[in-house]
Amino acid sequence: MSLRIPEQPGQLVAKGACALISDTSSRNAIAKQAGDLSVRGFLADYFSTPDHWDVKTSATRVLRALNGWCYSQSTFVEDGSYVASLSAMVYRGREAHLFHMGDTLVFRLRGAEFEQLTRDHITDLGGYRYPSRALGLDGSIDIDYVRTPLKQGDIFLFTTQAVRGTLMPSDYVQLIRQDASDLDAACERLASAARERAQERGYGGEQFCFQLVRIDQLPGEESDHPGRIYGDLPIPPELSPGERIDGLEVQEVLSRTAQSRVYRVRDTHTEREMVMKAPSPELSNRNAYLEHFLLQQWVVERVKSPFVVRVMEPSRPRRFLYYLMVYVEGITLAEWARRHPQANLAQRLDIAVQLGKAVQALHHRDLLHQRIHPENILIDAHGQVVLTDFSACHMRDLDGHRRSRELARQVGLSEHSAPEYALNDSVGRRSDQYSLASTIYWLFTGELPYALTPDQLRSHTDIERLSYRSARQVNPEVTPLLDDALRRALDPQRSLRYRRMSEFLYALRHHDGREAQGRATKRRWLREPANFWQGIAGILLLLLVLSWLLR
């Protein structure tokens, strides 16, 4: 069992505080690891979810991920399984959110009323009682969810099924109310009384545990407004070089768009140079964009990759809504290509693989970048690729694919965008794969793979006019296997591209391997529409001739 109250006021407002308890069978030593993992994992992952997610979304996704891990691990062990009961309660604003699986117990003491908030999910087999619904018991999980208002003075008790049959509800009320100011002492009284009752009935009380949570003070009703997630921080005004904000002096205006402002700033206290990104002042009332702005900040904070720019913590408390990133002293990929026209294929391929790893790091967090092109990629003095722009970044499975596609179109499509964006089709990781491959194709050749750009596509029939231009025709250094890898990743039909980004990166790294050319040739033959239909026509002609001869 554990409890966590965030120290940062902003995180306390956005995510709330959390108390939880987990219990496992004493006859299953392996399950104890699941109990420990579920408590530590839930606290770590829940408070790492995006600030704009609601409590139910955040907790449910974390629990499903934990359940999937426990269930998969059980297939690799014998004489046990990773199964645990779990009850977690999140206190946010003036409400409590309870998530429950199995047979752990949560009670609420309000005045003299003592009420059980959880249901017991138990199956009786051969005289033994087993949880019928618990973490790791099945590949899919059914989570009980209860949302209840809080009142000042509410006390919540977390305990285990082993306590059943020892204390009565009146005992709980009396022992807790005896001195409710000291919750540790109240837990000791409960444990001592339960142990005595258990010994009277002939069994031990080693597995008894109690955790008490008391609501001492509640925020005002207005503080639970969704806008409070942003900490009520105002959007910074328009800034110019030389002006200061929160001890940050603007050195240079890097970008001004309809949605955001990007500045190079210097911390006057630490002398560090950083990049500040803030919403555009004209968008102060557009909460939808502010929600997406926080997602951008979460991307920078949570995606751990040397190829993705890192977040910086300000040396002073923020009085405005913005976030800070490491200042990367480098040039864009477009500028690098102009300065290094004689760079060989190995140098360009190294940049391509680094960029692929950056996109892969986003995909591991279920994020789509949606705006990969040479102007959004920086290369530092050491030749390392750093991905910096997340203006169109979106969660892959939030509200389906529609919002992701609309966001990308709102920010603006580029010549490297996948065709499905222009045609309003479903988008996904393979859409990023197309943009990545198109950028790599441009890096190798200086040209685009198709004569038509996405903004010229009007209907699905236009896809038939897209004919891949072999990269080898422009750059003879490109090997046949590398050209075939690009051709596949750039297929106008999303379903025909590589299933995973790792497959595409593997093909890039092994472009000169001694692999069977027959499969590559076959794939190229199938992807050429003219060759395909000529082959079909030849087969039909042969069958027609045979039918005449056999008459």
Please list the alpha-helical segments (H only) found in 108-219.
169-177, 183-200
pLDDT of residue 193: 92
Between CA 165 and CA 161 the distance in angstroms is 9
Whether 481 shows a pLDDT value over 50: the answer reads: yes
What pTM value is reported for the model? 0.63
Q: Tell me the average pLDDT across 1-25.
A: 87
Each residue's pLDDT tens digit, 242-257: 999 999 999 999 988 8
pLDDT of residue 442: 96
Q: In this predicted model, which residue has the larger pLDDT, 475 or 407? A: 475
Q: In this predicted model, which residue has the larger pLDDT, 225 or 315? A: 315
Each residue's pLDDT tens digit, 181-207: 899 999 999 999 998 888 887 776 667
- Percent of the chain at pLDDT > 90 equals 47
pLDDT of residue 229: 45
**Which residues are registered as beta bridge partners of 273?**
266
Q: What is the mean pLDDT of the chain?
A: 85
Q: Tell me the average pLDDT across 422-437.
A: 92
Q: How far is CA 57 from the centre of its chain?
A: 12
Confidence band, pLDDT 50/70/90 cuts, at residue 327: very high
With contact defined as beta carbons under 8 Å apart, do 138 and 72 qualify? Answer: no
With contact defined as beta carbons under 8 Å apart, do 233 and 320 qualify? Answer: yes
Confidence band, pLDDT 50/70/90 cuts, at residue 228: very low
DSSP 491-542: -SSGGGS-SSHHHHHHHHHTTTS---HHHHHHHHHHH-HHHHHHHHHHHHHH
Q: Of 445, 446, 451, give the one whose Cα is nearest residue 477.
A: 445
With contact defined as beta carbons under 8 Å apart, do 483 and 514 qualify? Answer: no
Q: How far is CA 45 from the centre of its chain?
A: 11
Each residue's pLDDT tens digit, 138-156: 888 889 999 999 999 999 9
With contact defined as beta carbons under 8 Å apart, do 255 and 261 qualify? Answer: yes
